[in-house]
Amino acid sequence: MSEQATTPPCIIVVFGARGDLTKRLVMPALYNLRRSGALGDEFAIVGMDHGDISERAWRTNMGQSMTQLLSSRDAEFQTDEFDTATWDWLRERMHYLRGDFTDQGAYRSLGGVLDKLHKRYGTQGNVLFYLATAARFFEPVLLNLGEAGLVRQREGEGWRRVIVEKPFGHDLPSAQHLNATVAKVLHEDQVFRIDHFLGKETVQNILAFRFANGLFEPVWNRDRIDHVQITAAETIGVEGRGRFYDPTGCLRDMVPNHLFQLLAMIAMEPPAAFTTEAMHRRRAEVIEAVRPIRPEDVVRGQYASGAVNRNAVPGYREEDTVPEDSDTETYVAMKLQVDTWRWAGVPFYLRTGKRLRERTTEIAIRFKPAPLAPFRSTEVGGYGPDWLVLHIQPDEGISLQFDVKRPGAQVALAPVRMDFRYRDWFPKEYTVGYERLLQDCMNGEAGLFQDAAMVEGAWRIVQPILDAWKQPPSDFPNYAAGSAGPSAADALLAMNGGHAWRALTPGRKPPPRRPPEARAGAATPVKKATKKIAKKASKATSKRAGKPAAKSAETGADSSSKPTKKSGVKRATKEVAKKTAKTVRKTAAGKVVATKLVSKSVAARKARR
């Protein structure tokens, strides 16, 4: 990460210190913040969990987890080189406290530990509590923090803030109940409902892309946009987290938070100012405008055994810690309508799932075709689709696909693409998405977090689906691991205007080429020249064909004693060969020159970067 402002002094307390979230995202984010210079020396970590292990063992376990992540192709934590000095600094500030989340005595012990560490590290009484636990512990942790007085803010004694992970509730009533619990213990400006998708650079860039460029806003509406696809595909399974995942499922885990937040960023109106209140209000307006979903507009799926990246993987019901008869969904696809003036009639298609063909997250916007096709009377006929694609991960950037004319005498169109990649224009920054959010929380900035109204609005949308899905599915499992998902998801789009999902690809591949028959008409210069010369030679041959034959008859007696002149056919053939070779040499020379020019251009661009 690039050099950035140092965060204020604080202690971060992680509940669920030995859990998957801490290992996979929280600790790597803190490592990246320190390596970038954002964490000052007035900083410490307290990990609290029920596991009976020593502080030294916890530190070692975290270090081993970081190393394992770096060897994984699909892990979000990546770096060119693991900086041992950064890790040593972080490890020395890691402290472990064994405690039961439901035991008030553990919180009294935590208070004593915090007092000692404030004096040791000079953290000025600032504490950030991170609830990286299973959702069932959110309420007891919040209530115990309040009862122990650990989140009470007193003037001159530092700030106290709480990060709550998703899912925030498991349905609308539970979300409302949890919000009520939060209100009992905390002021709204103390709670940060986190969604790490909003911490990703490409997601934050959506606002700059839309509102800082006059090019796109005029076409960002129902007049120009045909439909929008939002995809969050994973290749991993539950990875030993079946006890957490099975009661939750794909819908609760991904849709009311991650996907709806991406939807809100794409569909929101311009805020009057980039303040926390204005941003929350604009995003909440989108969620409120989503039309109630009908059950027939949603598809669920569960993966069977298959192969991902050429490796055999088990089905969901065969995973460790998953019941053999589980009806939990691992895939969801849905069609949404946003009933606003800007988006009326534009379908938004959302899909997410585990054990799919590729790991990719993207927002793809398909534009409507031109109102009149000037080429409709030619062989070209209609046009291919124009796409604007915002690549969230793994290859962050933006691409625009459109049609151009192929070189040649005939009119033939080909799809091409203009690409912007962060790695081509800016220094590579290895982030997991939590770095910016942790910084914002330490600085008290909540613009990239969700407020209570947004959370309840999202659950209000999906509640009818949860009610309908109480009836167990009859076709599970219904897609193979390593595929693009269940066939019913394809049918969902096909029934709505003949749409189709974009192919799942790892980053960006060349746009699809036209069928061979559409390209056959574009003759090359060599072919055209050869055809023209051969035609002339054929005429010359037919004119001369009689003369050599007559002469041969007259001199047949002494033909054996002196050689005859070359026939017209041979001369014509030689002429064709000579002219064709000359044309080929010219064409080849042109290609060499063009290749050299392209090479020089590429080298110049690299030098400028």
Catalytic center residues: 258
Map residue 399 onto helix, strand or coil. Answer: strand
**Rounded alpha-carbon distances, angstroms, from residue 315 to 20, 72, 325, 521:** 21, 21, 12, 48
Query: Is 166 part of any known ligand binding site?
Result: yes
Alpha-carbon gap, residue 570 to 578, rounded angstroms: 12
Structure token pair of residue 192 = 């940060």
420's CB contacts (< 8 A; 6+ apart) are 397, 398, 399
Alpha-carbon gap, residue 603 to 595, rounded angstroms: 12
307's CB contacts (< 8 A; 6+ apart) are 313, 481, 482
Say how many CA atoms lie within 13 Å of 159 toward its Cβ: 15
Q: Which helix (H) or strand (E) segment is 287 a member of?
A: helix 276-289
Contact 313, 307 (CB under 8 A): yes
Map residue 298 onto helix, strand or coil. Answer: strand
Structure token pair of residue 430 = 């290895």
Write the Ramachandran bin of 496: left for phi over 0, alpha for psi from -120 to 50, otherwise beta. beta
DSSP state of 156: T
Query: Is 586 part of any known ligand binding site?
Result: no
Q: Which helix (H) or strand (E) segment is 606 a member of?
A: helix 568-608
Q: Which ranges constitute the DSSP H helices of 469-567?
A: 487-494, 516-519, 525-544, 546-554
Q: Compute the CA torsion angle 147, 153, 157, 159 (nearest 10 deg).
A: 110
Alpha-carbon gap, residue 108 to 97, rounded angstroms: 12
Q: At what angle do helices 84-92 and 55-70 cross, to 10 degrees?
A: 150
360-367, strands of its sheet edge to edge: 298-301, 331-337, 347-353, 225-233, 360-367, 386-393, 397-405, 413-421
Contact 124, 135 (CB under 8 A): no
Q: Do you know the residue count of the chain?
A: 609
205's CB contacts (< 8 A; 6+ apart) are 390, 398
Map residue 131 onto helix, strand or coil. Answer: strand
Query: Is 100 part of any known ligand binding site?
Result: yes
Cα–Cα–Cα angle for 309, 313, 317, nearest 5°? Answer: 145
For the chain, the first-to-last Cα distance in angstroms comes to: 18
Query: Is 200 part of any known ligand binding site?
Result: yes
Alpha-carbon gap, residue 14 to 582, rounded angstroms: 76
Instruction: Tell the burial category of 572 from Cβ atoms under 10 Å away from its Cβ (0-12, 13-18, 19+).
Output: buried
Structure token pair of residue 343 = 């988006």
Query: Is 354 part of any known ligand binding site?
Result: yes
Q: At what angle do helices 55-70 and 27-35 cross, to 10 degrees?
A: 80
Cα–Cα–Cα angle for 142, 45, 238, nearest 5°? Answer: 70
Query: Is 138 part of any known ligand binding site?
Result: no
Contact 481, 303 (CB under 8 A): yes
Binding-site residue positions for substrate: 196, 200, 234, 253, 354
Binding-site residue positions: 100-101, 166, 196, 200, 234, 253, 354
Binding-site residue positions for NADP(+): 100-101, 166
